[in-house]
Amino acid sequence: GESVGLHLPTLSVQEGDNSIINCAYSNSASDYFIWYKQESGKGPQFIIDIRSNMDKRQGQRVTVLLNKTVKHLSLQIAATQPGDSAVYFCAENKNFGNEKLTFGTGTRLTIIP
Amino acid sequence: DSGVTQTPKHLITATGQRVTLRCSPRSGDLSVYWYQQSLDQGLQFLIQYYNGEERAKGNILERFSAQQFPDLHSELNLSSLELGDSALYFCASSARPSGNTIYFGEGSWLTVV
């Protein structure tokens, strides 16, 4: 069945350093991937997305890398700040669709001051 | 603030009871999604509506039902509640049923005792 998983459930990074959060997916038909950030007591917040015809996309302080060969997705956060502390989820779907987004289990990122 | 409004924020009810969760999508968004987030299952897609019509269905129990009204707000009805239904229920919305970002509300925290 379809599944999206994360390599590490927790990650601690020194403030100012870069962080990398990884995600593995199993559905080779997935062509759309999204990263969400969820802070305590809040709903998931869209960070960045990428389509399968790309292998890299950059946003403000964030970069998503997609390796379709090994079905791996990563989120890089540059110059981490305390406000980056949250749980990060990857999600995947087909046809650039929003329907039935499949979410990973999440990685808790803690920024150490 | 994502613009998606959910009520109530917290709800405690007994097993066997029925509750209704309400969602107002972002202004102009026609598509509404319901997700369940529990500790053991993560974020699970339940159901999606677009402009009043059911668009996609996920792992939604038969005891659960939803609808989207002409004013585009949506309600998720949970009946014959069980302890295992305790979870965060998120509503999300997007302008169209696919191809664009979905925005999550802050969630309704349901505790069944």
Confidence of residue A7 (pLDDT cuts 50, 70, 90): very low
Q: Is the pLDDT of residue B25 over 60?
A: yes
pLDDT given at position A97: 66
Condensed to tens digits (0 to 9), the pLDDT of residues A35-46 reads 999 998 899 999
pLDDT given at position A2: 38
Q: How far is the alpha carbon of B111 from chain A, nearest alpha carbon, in Å?
A: 15
A41 contact residues in B (CB cutoff 8 A): 106
Confidence of residue A26 (pLDDT cuts 50, 70, 90): confident
Q: How far is CA A11 from the centre of its chain?
A: 13
Q: How far is the alpha carbon of A99 from chain B, nearest alpha carbon, in Å?
A: 6
Closest residue in chain B to residue A49, using alpha carbons only: B101
Q: What is the three-class DSSP state of A8?
A: coil
- What's the average model confidence in pLDDT over B51-72? 95
The whole-angstrom separation of Cα A109 and Cα A83 is 10
Instruction: Name beta bridge partners: B35.
Output: B45, B90
Confidence of residue B54 (pLDDT cuts 50, 70, 90): very high
Residue of B56, B92, B104 lying closest to A100 (CB–CB): B56
pLDDT given at position A4: 53
Q: What is the three-class DSSP state of A17?
A: coil
Superfamily (CATH) of domain A4-112: Immunoglobulins (2.60.40.10)
The whole-angstrom separation of Cα A44 and Cα B105 is 8
Spans of all domains in chain A: 4-112
Q: Is the pLDDT of residue B42 over 70?
A: yes
